[in-house]
Chain A
């Protein structure tokens, strides 16, 4: 009997001790789960690259195209149905597979991937103190990517910064950490979004190590400052915009006239040019290139753009090929093996224009004209004088036109129109059915995608008419 009790109790004791162990904590070996992936510093670097892969798709397919097609510089071929909606401001929440759906989706995909990096770098730094400098630069790059994607969203889905007095109108959702699946975040105001963008960019600049090696295809301290300059400009913070632009101009110089055209040809571009940040197209197939492809263009420059140029302007050369009016800003060498196109995002020329506009707003007309002059002289190869520009109004027109001349087709135009509270006016023979859109109008922004509205009860759509 006693023996039986011993057997029984030892069996039970064995069972109890087995059940106490931590049996269910399975480690998913094979790097497939997120924690496992972030077990080495190299993971953060790969994640920065992976996020860029997403960003390339987003910018190349949509972000660079939408603000141009919806504005006055692009004429669509009649068979270009996907973008037709956008040119005629007829987009509804259903266009899940067009620019609206993808700008929303892929921007947040970029932000979420950046947030994973931002979330995991501190832990990695603790574990691998030797790699701290590298990890800091990945952190900085992730912050830049997050800021840039928020800017894309806020511009596309929120009215311009000065639409209301204190930018208290709705922008996009600010996401600064990985959210859990059940959350239904609501939209922040434009002011809040811009605040976060500025905060991220300022933080990024601090994270970059002192000896960071500049690479135009990756975010850098210069790119952060350049983007800050643009953001301050949009916010109307003139002196901040001016000083940021000034800083960048002091570090990177303009591309010279000889190299101006090849700068837009990914496979011929010099290693060092005025690109502050551009997306590298190796192994990606470019939609922007295809849409503007010189042999079979689906979109061409409008007469309005072409009429702005003087004959001797080098910038006309990226707007024509064998007598045909086409856009060559996303060129690739078609004959070569594995051709690709880069997508310019930040250039020093834009910094000159920002500095000019900021100077003008601060009352310095001469300073403003001087910066435009620098670009004009580079473009035309000889001295140019702007003696006739004497008033602030003249200078403002000059800057606006110079922005078109310099930055057309690089995804700026719609934002330039809306932040200046101007109307979209297309020439009379433009192929679009809508020739004019007066500011303000609900159609200056896109509606929120229906999938988001359905899945997220806190999401507020943009107005679908002018109340």
Chain B
């Protein structure tokens, strides 16, 4: 902190010096131009302090008298241009001003590929930027989730709809799923450095529970997030760009600004949205159904397993298991940042603490971050930017095994009669032995929650150095070097007092320790030429990039502990300890270039080329070349344009290729497995793991994009884009001759097409001094089709299928034909459409797909003076889900004696001949009516009112008295309400099956103060 203090002192001294030097009236002169450099005749210049104003002449020149004894502000205004207030001190007597158009399209800038700043008006490609003000007041848990519903064509979904990990993995898709076997995740680039986000399925290799690196970032440090979508923007990222690129730019200080301190704090309460909780039977309902299923399976009621005894009083127990595991959570986030800037340096330092207690009891996340970004200019035109970040993350995880919190029967209690001792066994009637027997109660996770550990600590440090030198006005050299080290440690311990810590009833305790490190470094070197020759502007950029990823994993486990106090493997029984370690490397290297040419702010063309090499691929296909071309036309700037109400009319198009290299790093070279599982005569042996696959190459996506941007009356902005993406050389596992390998092998076969249309509308309904109301809406439609598969052969994976002419997300299910009213047995249609009572897996037929027709979001903000109210709605229309909970719990009595089922089973089941029931007769002997049939396909349409925020910012008049720059308070409600079809208080619908855990609704109070 001492360095900062010094800077502050220096700044104070400087101000003092200015105050002493001047005490007369002086003149300020200069030229006012528009963004093309043309003089702005008639622009008004006003000195705010003495209210004097002048008008610029024919050459855009002005001259104004100003008070010289103090600091003052000059205000420049011109119709159609954004007002500019420039703070002056008496010393300055010349000031040239370039004004910018105030229409939103022209005004906004976008951070494009390799940090090139482009005005939205100049954009040839497709890029959508979310700025920090839109990220404000959004949930701070993880950075990807906040983008949901904000970016057209970007969808974020949990990878599973069943309860499992409390750190859900998300699938982020930009314009559909372009790969079948490789990853379809976009590339994340933070401050110019590509990020390692885990394996091709998003898991963190080496860890047993994945905590996403997305949760390690303090969202308040982010200045902007740009999603690059088309070939013009992503081709330059070559082999990693096919799934889109997401650029994150962190906040920085700006030069010549005084020290500014910003502090914020948020307190939140997380509650369960009970309307989204899956509804199961209570004890009485369960007992009725279970007994019926027991008898229907041909058993006698005397042998029913759950008969009251001294250890279990089944008839009087009614446990609502969700309440045993779920409760109130809370959230706390505090951050402090300081930014400053002098002539030769500027910077920002921030620190934050975040804590979240999940609605799953004892599950929590903590994050400490520290981040600094400094920009030094030791010599004129030489910039040295240093970016240092550290994040420490502590995750205490309590995963509830898949849906056990719903399936555990209500007739069991987590505790013994005394209400506190853990129940490890239940006394159950054994019908074959004709006596009660103590059975292990594995589904009671309460002892595990209380005594077991599942703890992850992760330290992420990264450092980015950027050196840039502007050689001439038009030529810039720049080098960036980034290193990121992510070190994780995971401890799990099964206590001797829990069933999982016992071996055949004998307490042993079991511990695992995992250590992983992911080291990545990246270097890019760029030469940029940018010059304007009259109406012509030329930009050429060339570069060289290296990336390297080095992962190491260590694992040890052991059991046989003396007590639960010492959990380290050193004290485990030595015969039971096991350890291993592994390492994985990959590297890539690229040359790339981008060129842009524009004429008169009207015509733009651009091109990209990247030659990309990757060590993952075999020696014949290490290198791939990707390219793109694009053009745009600002028609509204043409002389012939005379549509008055339309301020902007722009069309654009691009076409090009990009690649996807996210497959396992050892595929090309082949592997050998050496372990005990291949032993002979008791000695470990080695066998071929995977055969070498040197011919393997990139998936290449050819992307075509066209777009139209329009703005009416400076209020309504409409942007429409359409695209057609074709992925060639699809990586897919195919059978090769068994004489070569017994396993299926990756091969470049097949084609997938994603085509769609995206619409963005922004409308300023009210825009005046006190009142402001704007609405923005985005909608995207994507159609996914498998165009070609290896030899045209469909591949089926249980309930889904890949088939030519169908979406990659097509359900493959047996058609349900209802319940036979005579005997309650399930009916299906066979392959040929004939009614059948026989369940047969081979009767599955391809049918509906899970692809939604339309996805998107709507944001609106209404403000009056300092008060503002904003809302966000996410939606998805169409598509069919085959929810896990439907599959498992809306059953025909299958295994009902061992697990609870949906409330529908109680109400809708067939009971007697003549019943027109929708659920078949319950029987503990399964009739398979629950698996692989389309009975429970549900419309995925939902509307999620995801956020309402009410904010108040205190006015300047109060702030200046308190010597503050800003003070705000907000009340935020996240996940307000979820709408789906067939919502019901009593029954389940897609609403209760959309996610494994019920929705967490959070109420947050946020404060923000700056000096």
Contacts and interface: CB of A to CB of B under 8 A. Distances in A.
A345 interface: no
Nearest to B479: A11
Contacts of B685: 46-53
Given A49-B679, A181-B691, A23 B669 contact: no
B454 to A, nearest CB: 27
B1010 interface: no
A37 B681 contact: no
B694 A50 contact: no
A90 interface: no
Interface residues of A, number: 66
A18 B685 CA distance: 42
B691 A108 contact: no
A336 B836 CA distance: 50
B735 A49 contact: no
B745 A53 contact: no
Contacts of A428: none
Interface in A77-114: 104-106, 108-109, 111-113
Interface in A278-320: 280, 282-283
Contacts of A24: 587-589, 613-615, 622
A337 interface: no
A105 B585 contact: no
Contacts of B694: 180
A334 interface: no
A416 B735 CA distance: 35
B9 interface: no
Interface in B691-726: 691-695
Contacts of A14: 525
A166 interface: no
Interface string B662-676: 000110011110101
A53 B687 CA distance: 9
Nearest to B672: A37
A32 B739 contact: no
A26 B586 contact: yes
A34 to B, nearest CB: 5
A50 B669 CA distance: 20
Given A31-B674, A34-B692, A7 B686 contact: no
B863 to A, nearest CB: 49
A178 B691 contact: yes
B742 A105 contact: yes
B917 interface: no
Contacts of B671: 32-34, 37
A50 B687 contact: yes
Nearest to B549: A26
B733 to A, nearest CB: 12
Contacts of A113: 687-688
Contact of A18 (B546, B679, B693, B739): B546
Nearest to A51: B687
B674 A50 contact: yes
A28 interface: yes
Contact of A52 (B591, B680, B736): B680
Contacts of B738: 104-105, 108, 449, 451-452, 455-456
A28 B527 contact: no
B589 A50 contact: no
Contact of B737 (A31, A32, A111, A185): A185
Interface residues of B, number: 60
B681 A181 contact: no
A429 interface: no
B686 A179 contact: no
Interface stretch (B264-272, B467-475, B770-778, B899-907): B467-475
Contact of B739 (A30, A108, A454): A108
A466 interface: no
A32 B582 contact: yes
Contact of B544 (A18, A51, A108, A185): A18
A181 B695 contact: yes
B126 to A, nearest CB: 30
Interface string A46-90: 111111111010000000000000000000000000000000000
B546 A108 contact: no
A35 to B, nearest CB: 7
A43 B745 contact: no
B540 to A, nearest CB: 14
Contact of B589 (A12, A23, A38, A459): A23
A32 B680 contact: no
Nearest to B671: A32
A34 B672 contact: yes
B737 A29 contact: no
Given A53-B685, A175-B739, A455-B735, A181 B582 contact: no
Interface string A210-242: 000000010000000000000000000000000
B689 interface: yes
Contacts of B735: 451, 454-455
A184 B741 CA distance: 12
Contacts of B695: 180-182
Contact of A28 (B475, B525, B666, B686): B666
B793 interface: yes
A165 interface: no
B791 interface: yes
Contact of B687 (A38, A47, A105, A181): A47
Contacts of A192: none
B585 A112 contact: no
Contacts of A37: 671-672, 674, 686
A253 interface: no
A34 B525 contact: no
A179 B683 contact: no
Given A46-B684, A49-B683, A459-B737, A106 B583 contact: no
B678 interface: yes
Nearest to B791: A454
Given A7-B477, A26-B585, A51-B687, A15 B525 contact: yes
Nearest to B478: A11
B666 A33 contact: yes
A24 to B, nearest CB: 5
A34 B691 CA distance: 8
B798 to A, nearest CB: 17
A361 B172 CA distance: 75
A258 B186 CA distance: 72
Interface string A10-26: 01101100110001111
Contacts of A108: 738-740, 742
B787 interface: no
Contacts of B591: 19
A382 interface: no
B682 interface: yes
A47 B686 contact: yes
Contacts of A29: 583, 585
A388 B683 CA distance: 52
B584 interface: yes
Nearest to A117: B686
B681 A217 contact: yes
B646 interface: no
B679 A455 contact: no
B734 interface: yes
A364 to B, nearest CB: 40
B678 A53 contact: yes
A462 interface: no
A116 interface: yes
Contacts of A54: 678, 687
Given A18-B544, A24-B614, A454-B793, 6 more contacts: A30-B583, A43-B674, A49-B684, A53-B687, A109-B742, A116-B672
5 contacts: A8-B477, A24-B613, A116-B688, A181-B736, A451-B738
Across the A-B interface, give the 4 residue pairs with the lowest CB-CB distance, nearest first: A50-B685, A49-B685, A37-B672, A50-B687
Interface of A: 4, 7-8, 11-12, 14-15, 18-19, 23-38, 43, 46-54, 56, 104-106, 108-109, 111-113, 116, 173, 175, 178-185, 217, 280, 282-283, 449, 451-452, 454-456, 459
